[in-house]
Amino acid sequence: MTTLQLLQRSLLPAPGFGEPELYVRSSGAMSVTIDEAAGDVVGVVAGTLTFDTTFGVFHAGRWRRLTSVDALTARVVASGNGRAEVVAVTRGREVVVASAPLAGQHVDIAVGSLQRSKWGVLYVRIVTAGECRVRRVEWLTDTTPAHPVRLSLSITTFNRQAYVVPTVKKVLSLVRGLDSLRGRVRVLVVDNAGNVDFGEAPSDDLTVVPNRNLGGAGGFARGLMWLRTAGWATHVLFMDDDINLEAESLVRTVALFAYARDPKLCVHGAMLSEERQWMQFEAGSKYLWRSLYPLRALGQEDDLRERRLAVKDAKERRFAYSAWWYTAFPIGITRDNPMPVFVRGDDVAFGLMHTGRHTVTLNGVIVWHADFHLKNNPSSLFYEMRNFATIDTLVFDRHRWWHLGQRFLALSFRNLFGFRYSSAEYMIRGMRAYLAGPSALAEVDHAALHDELRRVTEEKPAPLSAEHAAISISKPLPKPIRLVGFVLSLPLLGGFFLPAALRSKALRTAPIDSRAVGLALRHERILYRHDRLPEGFVCERDRARFFALWRDVFSVLGALVRNYGRLKREYRAAYPSLVSDAAWQRQFDGVSVAPKR
C-alpha cells in the first residue's frame, strides 16, 4: 500500500481569532469550536466554505519549482451532505480539476501530477447540502522524499515567559500529536536569563540550555554549536521568543525541506503585525548598502485577507537576508557562527554571507509580532550604527568610507534637527565602537554593555500622561511644505538661526518612528507618538547639547576618513576568529578574549 506523505494542512481559524479570512471564506452560516477529544478545530457549516485564502491555498507553482513533489492528493476531513471540489487557479483562470462527494469522516481526492501541470495555486471548496462538520484539508503526495529531515528549533529567550512558554507548549503538542513530525522535530531553548520553566520532565524533544545574556547572536550561536555537537539535527530553525507562531508553519517547513531540489534551501517565515493581524510587516528583505536606510522589507503592509494576493502564483523573490523571528536552514550550510554583535544586525550578516540567496517564503509559514516601533530606542541606534558599519565593511568589496560617512552624517543631522539628541549620542557612540576595531569588538563584555546601554531613559516609548494623550495627533502638512522645511533646516541650522519670535512653543505631534526635521524648524517641543497606541515621548530644543553633539559628529567623521582602509583590512582578517567556536565559548564562559600580557 502506498504511503501518503503530508505536505500541508489547510486549517480553520481558532474560535475568536480576529481575522478568519486569513484561513477560510464562507457564504452561509459557520460556527467553529474546539473538539477537546481530538484536539483540533471543527466548523459547523451550512453553505459554501472555501480555502482560497493566504493560509489555505496550496501554492502549486512554488511547490513545483522548488521541489520534486509530483502526484497530489487532497484529503478533505469533513462529514455531512455535500461535495468537495479542488479548484486550480492559473493566471487568473479558475477550473475545478477534481471533486468527490463527502463520505464518512474524510474523502481523498486524487488531484493529478503537479510536475506536468501549470497550476498556480490550488484550493478546496466545500459545497454543503445541509449542515456539514469540517475540520481541515490535507495536501498529500506519494512521492518519495528526497532528503531525511530532522529539524531542531533553536529559540533564544530572555525573560519572555509570557510568549515563549505557550509557543513551546504549542509546538510540542503539535509534534507529539502529528505522525509527520513526531521524532523529526525537537525544541532547543537557550535561556539567556536562566529562569524559564516549561513544567516539562526531561525529554528528547525539549532541551533547555542556560546561557549568559549575550543577546540573540549569543543565544543562537550557543544553540547552533550545541546542535552541531549533538549531531541529531539536519536543519535548524532560529526563532525569536516574543512571537506568536502559527504552528502549521512547521508542517510546511519540514515537508519543503524533505522534497527540496536545492539541498541548501532555507525557509523564512513572514512576520505579521500583532496589532493588525492581517497586515504583513515583512516577507524577506533586501539590503541596499549604499542607501541611507539599507533594510528594504518585501511585502510590507500587504493585506493578506485580500483574495487576489492569496490566489496569485507569486514567483520567488530574491532577498538578501531573513530575520531570525523564523529562519530555517540546513545545519551544514556553514561552519560559521553568528557575528558577536548583539541585538541588531546579527541576522543580516548571517543572511548576507550564508543563507539569504537560498531562502524562500511559503504561504502560511508566518509569525505575529508586536510593533517594532515600540522596541526602538536610542540604544537600538548604537547597535544599528556599529553593527551595520561592521557588516558593510565585511561583506561588500566596493564599500568605501564615504558610503558609511554619508549615512552617519545624514542620520546624525536628522536626529539633531528633530531634537532627538539621545539618539544622536548613541549613534556617535556606536560609530566610535566600530572605529575601535575588531580587537575591541572581540573583547566586549556584551552582557555588561547591554545592561549599561538599556538604562537610557530618553526617547523610549512609554504610556503617555493624560495631558499628552489628550493632544490631538497633528495633521501632516502637505508634502511640498514639509520638503521646504527639510531643505531650510540646514542653512537655518535646525531653527537655531531662526528668530525666537518666529518659533512656536505649541506642542506638535509627529509619528514615533520619524525625525520631524521640518516640523522642528519652528517649534520648541515635539511629541513623538504612536499612531494607534497611547505611547510616545517628548523631545525639546537644547542649544548646548545640540552644538556639543554637532562637534562630536564631525570629530567622528574625521576619524572614519583617516582609518577606514585599515579597519576594513582588520575586520576582514579578524572575521574567522570572531565567529569561531573558541571565541564564542570564551563569551559563554565569561572569559575575556583579550590576549594575556
- What percentage of residues in the chain have a pLDDT greater than 70? 98
- 543, pLDDT greater than 90: yes
pLDDT exceeds 60 at position 594: no
Which pLDDT band holds residue 596 (cuts at 50, 70, 90)? very low
Look at the domain 151-370 and name its fold.
Spore Coat Polysaccharide Biosynthesis Protein SpsA; Chain A (3.90.550)
Show me where the domains of the chain are located.
Answer: 5-141, 151-370, 378-545
Q: Is 164 helix (H, G, I), strand (E, B) or coil?
A: helix
Mean pLDDT computed over 507-511? 87
- Which runs of E-coded beta strand occur in 336-411? 359-360, 366-369
- The domain made up of 5-141 has a fold known as Jelly Rolls (2.60.120)
Q: What is the mean pLDDT of residues 434-458?
A: 89
User: How do strand 185-191 and strand 151-157 relate by DSSP bridges?
Assistant: parallel
Q: Which amino acid is at 310?
A: A
Long-range contacts of 292-300 (CB under 8 A, 24+ apart): 292/406, 292/407, 292/410, 292/411, 294/388, 294/392, 295/348, 299/270
Q: In this model, does residue 191 exceed pLDDT 80? A: yes
What is the sign, positive or negative, of the torsion defined by CA atoms of 259, 260, 265, 270?
negative
User: Does the pLDDT at position 597 exceed 50?
Assistant: no
- Expressed in angstroms, the distance from the first to the final Cα of the chain is 71
Strand partners, 25: 50
In tens, the pLDDT along 35-78 reads 888 888 999 999 999 999 999 999 999 999 999 999 999 999 99
Region of poorest pLDDT, from 10-19, 102-111, 495-504: 495-504
Q: Point out the least confidently predicted range of 261-270, 290-299, 359-368.
A: 290-299
Spatial separation of the C-alpha atoms in residues 58 and 50, rounded to whole Å: 12
Which pLDDT value is given to residue 593? 44
Burial (CB count <10 Å: 0-12, 13-18, 19+), residue 484: middle
Q: Pick the residue with more confidence: 522 or 431?
A: 431
Q: Residue 92: which region, alpha, beta or left (left: phi > 0; alpha: psi -120 to 50)?
A: left
